[in-house]
Chains A and B, each alone.
Chain A
Amino acid sequence: MKKEDLPQDPSALVGVTRDVCYVKDKDGKYTTDLSIGWDVKKQALDNAWEDINERIAEAAIKVKNGEISPIYYFMEKKLMDLPLLAGYTGFWQWTIKRHFKPEVFKGLSESRLQKYAKAFDVSVDELKNFNG
């Protein structure tokens, strides 16, 4: 890629940092230049977020309908999956899956809720009272 071809399309980097890219200068030698973004990768990232936000919205509806517990919602909201949430809470994955059931969730002890709340960086009240 030639230096003059380096895309400068505003992206999420603006105001935070710029991306170091390796480009060829006029003499055909490698040099670095800074880019504020490229619309191809911006679109890829935007799509990924759109997908994530849809999953979060679906999770909220399921909680509202009483199909699943708030733990599932917050797991999606914090971009986690089962192995990751297991890592943060110390629970087994199958234990967490059980806690996805609203009736099991209702009976969870304060100390277990505390572990989830810490993992999600919310208060126990927020976790308990989330209803979609």
Chain B
Amino acid sequence: MDKSLSYNHIQTAHCENGVATGLLRHHGLEFMTEPLMFGLGSGIFYIHIPFLMVNGGPAISYRSMPGWIFSRSSKLLGVKVNRKKFNSEKEAYDYLNKQIQLGNPVGCQVGVYNLPYFPAEYRFHFNAHNLVVYGKENGLYLVSDPVMETVTTLTEEDMLKVRFAKGPLAPKGHVYYPEDVKQVSKEQLQKAIYKAINRTAFEMIHIPGPIAGVDGINYTARQIRKWRDKLGPRKAGLYLGQIVRMQEEIGTGGGGFRFLYAAFLEQAADITGNQKLISLSDEFTKAGDLWRASAINMGRIFKGRLNEQKDFLECADMLDNIAAIERAAFKELRKIKV
């Protein structure tokens, strides 16, 4: 069964944005861009989950739940996303082959630990990576992975391994693709943008509890103030390193997704003609720049140059400052109306 479907590979900062954007373009929504997808899907977020450890460090995320970006943006655009998960590897294998036969490029959720083309240093047990399968030739799947510069391939064996990675967020062979994609009018898109902005701002400000939304940033700051005494300098430094990795690693676009959101607001201003969005885009650029500055500051600690309690306090203060800027910006975004 050899078949290569026409699918335009796109490289994006974030894998889910990339797969969703690529698939919607494939289905005729040519205007779709990564920032637009990210904004419509309310991708920007912040959460610090207490008591949960990821790779031996704090569980912090700068984005919403995996899968939500595509689901939420599709809903706003009137697109249906068909999703399938499997208990049996055989069924999952057959289903993917069938989609290729039908000429349908599909998104697959995979674990990165066994992804052979990934740099070894990045191969952790992270199960919410996404890629597009657009064909099969000589027993190899043709793969468009949005974090790669060019297309790549996977053997049948590797594909099954990564689709059936185990642990948190286990993909269970998850395959998805958009269905019944109709053209989106300018008015429809404008309305979707306003709705998405409002939802994002609502979540960042009003989500209950101290650990999520902008409040979560203050929560992390409070934790950082305790880390050095509680964990010792070395481990506390490693924890800061984990924050920086979640914030800056491949897939974030830099600045904990804040630059990506600023780019969305800039495009949103173009599409809606609402100039207020330009100045709010600038606020998120500022936030992103401060996140970068915070990373540099944390880096001085985990590189071993600084290691006093006052250095940790300074890191925490920087986060409180970022939280204040984001809180003000999201409050303004709440007021944005058609």
Contact = CB atoms under 8 A, between A and B. Distances in A.
A20 interface: yes
B56 A16 contact: no
Interface of A is mostly: mixed
Given A23-B259, A41-B249, A79 B254 contact: no
Interface residues of A, number: 34
A84 B125 contact: yes
A22 B259 contact: yes
Given A24-B285, A40-B299, A1 B254 contact: yes
Contact of B55 (A1, A34, A48): A48
Interface in A1-22: 1, 6, 12-13, 16-22
B168 A22 contact: no
A45 B241 CA distance: 7
Contacts of A65: none
B89 to A, nearest CB: 13
Given A1-B289, A30-B35, A48 B238 contact: yes
Interface residues of B, number: 52
Given A16-B119, A84-B166, A43 B289 contact: no
A40 B117 CA distance: 24
Contact of B242 (A38, A40, A48): A48
A30 B285 CA distance: 10
Interface of B: 11-13, 35, 55-57, 113, 117-122, 124-125, 147-149, 166-168, 170, 237-238, 241-242, 244-245, 248-250, 253-255, 259-260, 262-263, 266-267, 281, 285, 288-289, 292, 295-296, 298-299, 302-303
